[in-house]
Amino acid sequence: MSLHVDRLHQIPAALTETKRRRDAFVALDADTPASDVVRAFDRIGLPLVEVLHSAGVMPSVHPDADVRQLAETRQQEAATFATEMSLDREVFERLSKLELPADADAATRRRLEHALRDFRRSGVDRDEATRDRVRALQDRMVELGQTFDRAIAQSSKSIVFEGGHAVLSGLPADFLASHPEGEDGSVTITTDPPDALPIMMYADDVDVRKRLYMESMTRAYPENFDTLRSLLSCRRELAQLLGYDSWADYVTEDKMSKSGGRVAEFIDQVSNLSSVRGTQEYADLLEEKRKTDPTADSVELYEWVHLVERIRKQRFDFDSQEARAYFPYDATLKGLLELTSELYGVTFQVVQDADTWHADVVTYDLLEKGEVIGRFHLDMFPRKAKYKHAMMVDFVVGLDGEFLPEGGLVCNFSKPKEGDPALMLHTQVTTLFHEFGHLMHFLMARRHEYLAFGGISCEWDFVEVPSQLYEEWAWDPAVLARFAKKPGTDQAIPADLVQRMRAAEEYGKGLRMGIQMTYATQSLDLHRLDPATIDFDAITRQIREQRTPFREVEGTHQAAQFGHLNGYSAIYYTYAWSDVIARDLWREFESDVMNADKFGGYKDKVLAAGGSQDAADMVESFLGRPFSFDAYEAWLSR
Quote the mean pLDDT of the chain: 97
Q: What is the average pLDDT across 249-276?
A: 97
* Residue in 255, 616, 613, 609 with CA at minimum distance from that of residue 442: 609
Quick: pLDDT tens for 376-432. Answer: 999 999 999 999 899 999 999 999 999 999 999 999 999 999 999 999 999 999 999
Mean pLDDT of 177-191: 96
Question: What pLDDT is recorded for position 2?
Answer: 85
Contact 494, 487 (CB under 8 A): no
Neighbours of 298 (CB within 10 A): 12
116-127 mean pLDDT:
97
What's the whole-number mean pLDDT along residues 457-485?
98
- Single-letter residue type at 168: L
The Cβ of residue 435 has, within 10 Å, a number of other Cβ atoms equal to 23
Query: How confident is the model over 329-387, as pLDDT tens digits?
Result: 999 999 999 999 999 999 999 999 999 999 999 999 999 999 999 999 999 999 999 99
How far apart (Å, rounded) are the C-alpha atoms in residues 322 and 325? 6
Cβ contact 593:342 at 8 Å: no
Q: Are 379 and 435 spatial neighbours (Cβ–Cβ below 8 Å)?
A: no
CA 121, CA 125: separation in Å to the nearest integer?
9
**Which DSSP string corresponds to 360-389?**
T-EEEEEEETTEEEEEEEEE-S--TTS-SS
* Contact present, 101 and 419 (Cβ < 8 Å): no
Amino acid sitting at position 260: G
Amino acid of residue 497: L
Nearest to 193 by CA among 428, 416, 378, 467: 428
pLDDT band of 171, cuts 50, 70, 90: very high
Three-state DSSP string of 392-421: EEEEECCECCCECCEEEEECCCCCCECCEC
**Residue 339: closest CA among 479, 471, 476:** 479
The answer to whether 388 and 197 are in contact (CB under 8 A) is no
Q: What angle do CA 379, 381, 386 make, to 5 degrees?
A: 75
Res. 592: pLDDT tops 90: yes
d(CA 133, CA 47): 28
Total residues found in the chain within this entry: 638
Among left, alpha and beta (phi > 0; psi -120 to 50; other), residue 129 is alpha
Query: How would DSSP label each residue in 10-45?
Result: HHHHHHHHHHHHHHHHHTS-TTS-HHHHHHHHHTTT
In the predicted model, is pLDDT for residue 91 greater than 90? yes
Give the whole-angstrom CA distance, residue 14 versus residue 567: 25
Burial readout 240-262 (b: 16 or more C-beta within 10 A, e: otherwise): ebbebebbbbbbbeebbbebbeb
Conformational region of residue 114, where left means phi above 0, alpha means psi within -120 to 50, and beta covers everything else? alpha
Q: Which amino acid appears at position 469 of this protein?
A: L
**Res 517: pLDDT:** 98
* pLDDT for the residue 1: 66
Q: Please tell me whether residue 249 adopts helix, strand or coil conformation.
A: helix
What pLDDT is recorded for position 588?
97
% of the chain surpassing 70 pLDDT: 100
Question: Mean of the pLDDT values across residues 201-214?
Answer: 97
Strand (E) or helix (H) holding 109 = helix 106-122
Please report the pLDDT score of residue 638 as a whole number.
86
CA proximity to 155, closest of 562, 561, 569: 561
Task: Render pLDDT for 500-535 as a digit per residue (tens, 0 to 9).
Answer: 999 999 999 999 999 999 999 999 999 999 999 999
Q: State yes or no: pLDDT of 92 exceeds 90.
A: yes
